[in-house]
Amino acid sequence: MIAHKCPHIQVTIVDVNADRIAAWNSEHLPIYEPGLEEIVKACRGKNLFFSTDVDKAIIEADLVFVSVNTPTKKSGVGAGYAADLFYVEACTRRIASVATSSKIVVEKSTVPCRTAQSMRTILEANSRPGLRFDILSNPEFLAEGTAIKDLDAPDRVLIGSLSTPEGRAAQQSLVEVYANWVPRARVITTGLWSSELSKLAANALLAQRISSINALSAICEATGADVDEVAHACGLDSRIGSKFLKSSVGFGGSCFQKDILNLVYLSESLHLPEVADYWRQVITMNEYQKRRFAQTVVSSMFNTITNKKLAVLGFAFKKDTGDTRETPSATVCRFFRQENAKVSIYDPKVPEKQIFVDLTEPGVADDSQLVQQQVTVCKSAMEACTGAEGICVLTEWDEFKSLDWEAIYASMAKPAMVFDGRGILDADKLRSIGFKVHSIGKGL
Ligand code: UGA
């Protein structure tokens, strides 16, 4: 987006992974995101470059964005909660060692509060005469599937800096980059630690809203209230707002769970156990929602799905992306596998190979063969649904709303059931065709 909006700025994206860079330089970009390809193709080779020559890019840059992943630690101190800062530190050290002129280092990765302090210590320990490093925090708020739209017209751009004159000057340089297309009033400046914490806080608050509406969905199902009506009625209160109140089978994606776990870890490290428990509950509710959905499928199908064919429509964690990280669909499919169902999956964007990787239990002998026996990845929704006893809609792809549901009904074993985990289908219409329908947050 910077290259697209600022023809006078040269943007070089570097990665140690040569395959990824080759893909970025090819006809087939390594990720799917609506509108991305057009922008990359328009700027590539003009003021946008993709390269594996990390050192050259560092030497030539005035601003360096550190945009590496910060996964949840799998082992050691804070395993399962804390962010792994290995890649952030490796980048910082690389910048410190190869730079030959002063740099503004921008922390773009989502990091725990006060990470900039460690980066600064490393950079300052390596500053040399005539060469200084300033550090900024500039968290990213785009959502997948709407990345280009979000970058083009962000609600806000947040830039945190130290409150020293040098820190403020560095902050101003980055403000000027964004000012090329973002209205000034939307570019907000804060201290470093507020900026870092705001990123975790924003994701925690968003995820908390989904867990709140999902908790209400369970009450709706038990009482006959309709979760969409409840969300609408509550959302019209301008203090609450209507967005992000769509009940679902659970939230997924690479960020919400990771960032909340990170916040839990931070709270515990600060000896704030009640705060940690409060945020942990958002994850607990999400796990409950996925399990509750899968259990409803089993209980509706006469308490057994052994050897029954179940169609799963949607594997990505949300529509308009091929990303499957923490996708609720994988959790539900794993549950179905344990119940020995035959699962047929269709997703318009997720490759077959990825689905098998996500459903294979790591470390379980022969599981990859077992997955192949239990799971079929289909080329269309119709193929997945033919002969099935139940259909689960687990990603809200638009195409699922306009499927030929009459033809699907005719092809299925009876009674034919639909479990709408995204609340996108017209349940009355499906019932008039003959389906038995269960929609999240709605009584039967
Ligand atoms: C999220 C945030 O929305 C972004 O602001 C943030 O920048 C990003 O994480 C990040 O930290 O990188 P993303 O995970 O791409 O973005 O997607 P979301 O649109 O937030 O959806 C997350 C999950 O919540 C999806 O599984 C989605 O289906 C679910 N969801 C969302 C609901 O179940 N109900 C809703 O009302 C909204």
Q: What is the pLDDT of residues 362-399, one digit of tens each?
A: 888 888 889 999 999 999 999 999 999 999 999 999 99
Looking at ligand 1, which residue's alpha carbon is closest to its atom 34? 246
Annotated active-site residue in 43, 91, 220, 255:
255
| Centre of ligand 1 from the C-alpha of residue 397, in Å | 15
Q: What is the pLDDT of residues 105-163, one digit of tens each?
A: 999 998 888 888 899 999 989 888 889 999 999 999 999 999 999 999 999 999 999 99
Phi and psi angles of residue 180, each rounded to the nearest 5 degrees, phi first: -65, -25
Report ipTM for this prediction: 0.98
Looking at ligand 1, which residue's alpha carbon is closest to its atom 16? 143
- Tell me, yes or no, if 91 is annotated catalytic: no
Q: Is the pTM of this model over 0.90?
A: yes
Nearest Cα neighbor of 159 from 115, 124, 132, 198 is: 198
| Centre of ligand 1 from the C-alpha of residue 315, in Å | 15
User: At CA 435, angle to CA 430 and CA 441, rounded to 5?
Assistant: 70
Atom of ligand 1 nearest to the CA of 144: 15
| Centre of ligand 1 from the C-alpha of residue 230, in Å | 21
Looking at ligand 1, which residue's alpha carbon is closest to its atom 2? 143
What integer is the mean pLDDT of 340-348?
A: 98
| pLDDT grade for 292, boundaries at 50, 70 and 90 | very high
